[in-house]
Amino acid sequence: MPADLTHLESPRFALSRQGPADEAELLALYADARVMRYIEPGRPPEKVKAALRRADDQWNAHGYGYWVARARGGGPILSAVMLMRDEARQDVELGYLVAPSHWGQGVATEVCQPVVEAAFGAAGVPFLVARVEVVHGASLRVLGKLGFRRTHQTTEGAVLEWFRLDAPAAR
């Protein structure tokens, strides 16, 4: 099990392991059609709650899962970042979302960076994958800034661009 990754920081944000106290705020973010446009429009609350339980299972099994990000001084959840292991694909996927009030401010790149570093450092993950709808320019730019490279496209209801980032020693 890797070192304790439950609290991470970036210059502007404090990231912490999501917990029961975060559920209402996360449900509100997932209910926002603008946030979910490229993730899964109309995701029902029960499906969100199930995903949060899976993230908790990830923490227990692997020492990483789902972080919520707030301004360093506290306040509402402004972003969320996840690392989810997919046993079938044998990979770990990076995912993220940002509250619309903070779009276009570099939040996604900033909150993902310490998670990526923790994945490759303390968690010992050899590579990460991410997938983004090809029409979601903002997320495509975020992954590019983080150093991900395109690997392939799939169609899963939408055309998805897949990306991979190898741990620094493996690059």
Distance CA 142, CA 135 (A): 13
What pLDDT digit, counting tens, does each position of 115-153 carry?
Answer: 999 999 999 999 999 999 888 889 999 999 999 999 999
Helix, coil or strand: residue 81: strand
Segments of 61-144 assigned E as strands: 66-71, 79-86, 91-98, 127-133
What architecture is domain 7-170? 3-Layer(aba) Sandwich (3.40)
Q: Is the pLDDT confidence value at 18 over 70?
A: yes
Q: Is the pLDDT of residue 53 over 90?
A: no
Please determine, for residue 41, whether its predicted confidence score (pLDDT) is greater than 70.
Answer: no
pLDDT at residue number 38: 63
Q: Say what the pLDDT of residue 170 is.
A: 57
Torsion of CA 20, 130, 2, 59, to 10 degrees: 20
pLDDT digits (tens, 9 = 90+) for 63-118: 999 999 999 999 999 999 999 998 899 999 999 989 989 889 999 999 999 999 99
- pLDDT of 13: 97
pLDDT value at 39 more than 80: no
Tokens 């899963």 belong to 156
Distance CA 171, CA 157 (A): 32
- Which has more pLDDT, 37 or 135? 135
pLDDT at 42: 65
